[in-house]
């Protein structure tokens, strides 16, 4: 039998939370899906699009009676949320999330759980640079990976219910230590976002300082657009990801700077053979990647 919940409360009905709500309702995985968020107009849109059944202004009202609560807000808000309404949760309830950082965040969230309430970390690796429930779709997670991050404290039954939920969305569910998750995602997701943000900032600075008449949009081709697509991502979300995974992110930025410096050295020296070899190595590594098009993590 498919996993089923009586009441699911989704806190943050944006792209990820809204898409999950659409699947819960379409597949009948929950009797009721309650939306909680800051913007009433977004929540009204969520109702119209079938992502939630109803919404409430006070999170306490939304989580009371819920057997599953999904945190789909910026990761830095988790502690505030759990302290605000954690005491309203019923014994046996599960709190999970969709955040791109785990590690210390999972440990902190576990410590905030009232007796009898279970936290299970999860990270669906699916999304777009667009945000908001209007960009949601019940096909968003199809074929994508979702990493669940249990610890020795994780309740086994709660873990299996969260795994089953994400399997129902069409995700390929993997299990990973929370800290290992942050190392891997820091390299393959967080660093590329740093690179995209920094590249756009560098181009804008060059334009302003040296070529004020340069129109980036008019003269750019597909290469720039493809390389920097993820620079259109949510500033609030990525600020918190970088801060919560700062040790890994700083380490990987250092490694990236080493690679940039080596490219600079080759170009400055006019070393054509070295440049070609470096590009060939990069090309070979790129061809090994199994990248899902138009998805950010």
> According to the model, what pLDDT value does residue 175 have?
97
Whole-Å CA distances, 243 to 132, 139, 238, 248, 290: 23, 31, 8, 10, 28
pTM higher than the cut 0.85: yes
Helices within 64-177 (DSSP H only)? 78-85, 104-112, 156-168
Alpha carbon distances (Å) from 208 to 199, 202, 211, 231, 267: 14, 10, 6, 19, 25
- Quick one: CA dihedral 47, 50, 53, 56, positive or negative? negative
Residue in this structure with the two tokens 């003269």, named with its chain if needed:
219
Q: How far is CA 52 from CA 9, 35, 57, 245, in A?
A: 9, 6, 14, 31
Alpha-carbon distance values, 119 to 17, 111, 173, 248 (Å): 17, 9, 17, 24
- Positive or negative: CA dihedral 157, 162, 168, 174: negative
The encoded tokens of residue 32 equal: 């009721």
One pLDDT digit (tens) per residue for the chain, 297 residues: 579 999 999 999 999 999 999 999 999 999 999 999 989 999 999 999 999 999 998 999 999 999 999 999 999 999 999 999 999 999 999 999 999 999 999 999 999 999 999 999 999 999 776 778 999 999 999 999 999 999 999 999 999 999 999 999 999 999 999 999 999 999 999 999 999 999 999 998 888 888 777 676 677 788 998 999 999 988 999 999 999 999 999 999 999 999 999 999 999 999 999 999 999 999 999 999 865 444 444
CA separation for the pair 82, 3 (Å, rounded): 24
Q: In what order do the strands lie in the sheet with 94-97?
A: 54-56, 30-36, 5-11, 68-71, 94-97, 118-120
User: HSE on the CB side for 284, CA within 13 Å?
Assistant: 6
- pLDDT at res. 1: 52
Whole-angstrom distance, CA of residue 137 vs CA of residue 139 = 5
């Amino acid at each position: 039998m498919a996993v089923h919940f009586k009441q699911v409360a989704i806190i943050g009905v944006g792209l990820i939370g809204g898409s999950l709500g659409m699947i819960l309702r379409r597949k009948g995985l929950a009797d009721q899906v309650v939306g909680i968020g800051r913007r009433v107009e977004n929540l009204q849109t969520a109702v119209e699009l079938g992502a939630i059944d109803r919404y409430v202004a006070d999170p306490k009202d939304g989580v009371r009676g819920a057997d599953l609560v999904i945190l789909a807000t910026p990761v830095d808000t988790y502690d505030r949320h759990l302290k605000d309404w954690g005491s309203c949760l019923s014994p046996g309830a599960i709190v999970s999330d969709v955040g791109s950082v785990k590690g210390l965040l999972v440990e902190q969230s576990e410590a905030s759980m009232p007796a009898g309430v279970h936290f299970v970390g999860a990270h669906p690796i699916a999304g777009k640079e667009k945000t908001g429930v209007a960009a949601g779709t019940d096909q968003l997670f199809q074929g994508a990976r979702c990493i669940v991050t249990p610890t020795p404290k994780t309740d086994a039954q709660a873990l299996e219910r969260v795994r089953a939920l994400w399997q129902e969305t069409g995700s390929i569910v993997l299990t990973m230590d929370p800290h290992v998750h942050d190392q891997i995602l820091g390299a393959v997701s967080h660093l590329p976002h740093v690179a995209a943000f920094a590249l756009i900032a560098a181009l804008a600075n060059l334009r302003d300082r040296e070529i004020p008449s340069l129109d980036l949009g008019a003269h750019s081709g597909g290469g720039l657009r493809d390389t920097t697509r993820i620079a259109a991502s949510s500033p609030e979300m990525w600020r918190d990801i970088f801060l919560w995974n700062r040790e890994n992110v700083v380490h990987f930025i250092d490694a990236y700077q080493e690679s940039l410096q080596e490219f600079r050295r080759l170009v400055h020296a006019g070393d054509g053979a070295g440049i070609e070899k470096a590009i060939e190595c990069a090309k070979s590594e790129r061809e090994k990647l199994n990248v899902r098009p138009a998805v950010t993590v």
